Amino acid sequence: MGNLVAGDDGLPVEEVGGWIEEKHDSLRRYISISRSVRAKWLGDRSAGATYIDLFCGPGRAWDKDRKRYIDGSCVAAWKASLDGSTPFSQVVIADLDDERRAAAATRLKALGAPVLEIEGSAVDAASELHARLHKSALHFAFLDPFNLRTLDFKVIKSLAGFKYIDMLIHVSQMDHQRNWAANVTTEASAFDAFAPGWMNVINIEAGPADVRNQVFQYWRGLVETTGAWPSTEMKLIRGSRNQPLYWLLMASKHELAHKFWAIAANPEGQGSLF
């Protein structure tokens, strides 16, 4: 989580690295590519099309590498839907930090977005959504946590309960690699929330790369059990020193979402996962 600093619109913004712009470009491309499907839920069907961002942040950021202000994920997503003339019928935002969430809500409302703001953690917000959203709407969730521990599998399981749900998920490769030793040797492991039950199936005596791969593949299997299978197409986001930071992948019950993501990800032959 980056520091909050003064923004150019009187509200706080979050300090981020330049790599965040590549992530948001992928998000925008997916929203643009999928607009024809979204239009069906906004037109002939009354259920609507919802954007869900459970780690929304303040909605605006300061790119400290390029020295400029940029939109946060929820604002970027809303603008992308406007650009395609198929605006989301509802924008759901949640963040454990009240100040960040309130800033995002203010920015979105100023742009005319139909905002539903939910307090609390991503786990609590995800469980609350079934009582607050149309069950037959087309839902698109962007899960962009700060580390593996906050990517609690309960969030994915709750969201997968919707009939029509696509999830673009950020999986921290750097956190997975840097903290693997602590995660396999401590009682309170980030893996417990990310991939519950991992200790029962993973050979922790294997080498670091093998353990990381086992945990990741086990997590993919868990996601598949929800009915929203994870894509084989993954986009690796790298930092300013070309270090691997995280992967973006799609989880969806529908093949068309995976086809759209394959285009949006614009793969560049990034090699093996670890």
pLDDT in single tens digits along all 274 residues of the chain: 779 999 999 999 999 988 889 999 999 999 999 999 999 999 866 799 999 999 999 999 999 999 999 999 999 999 999 998 999 999 999 999 999 999 999 999 999 999 999 999 999 999 999 999 999 999 999 999 988 889 999 999 999 999 999 999 999 865 545 554 555 555 557 788 999 998 888 877 777 778 888 888 999 999 999 999 999 888 888 877 888 888 899 999 999 999 999 999 974 544 434 3
- What is the C-alpha radius of gyration for the chain, rounded to an integer number of angstroms? 18
CA distance 264 to 245: 19
- For Cα atoms 32, 227, 183, give the angle at the middle one, nearest 5 degrees: 95
Exposure of 168 in the CB half-sphere (CA atoms within 13 A): 29
212, 243 contact by CB (below 8 A):
no
The predicted pLDDT at position 237 comes to 85
The predicted pLDDT at position 270 comes to 42
CA distance 55 to 43: 29
CA distance 192 to 19: 28
Q: Is the pTM above the cut of 0.85? A: yes
212, 180 contact by CB (below 8 A):
yes
Buried b (16+ CB within 10 A) or exposed e, 257-273: bbebbbebbeeeeeeeb
Helix, coil or strand: residue 141: strand
- For Cα atoms 161, 163, 165, give the angle at the middle one, nearest 5 degrees: 80
- Domains of the chain (ranges; CATH) run 4-173+233-261 (3.40.50.150)
The predicted pLDDT at position 272 comes to 39
Cα 166 vs. chain centroid, distance in angstroms? 11
Residue 220 in tokens: 């993919």
C-alpha torsion 71→73→79→83, nearest 10: 120
The predicted pLDDT at position 19 comes to 86
232: left (phi over 0), alpha (psi -120 to 50) or beta: alpha
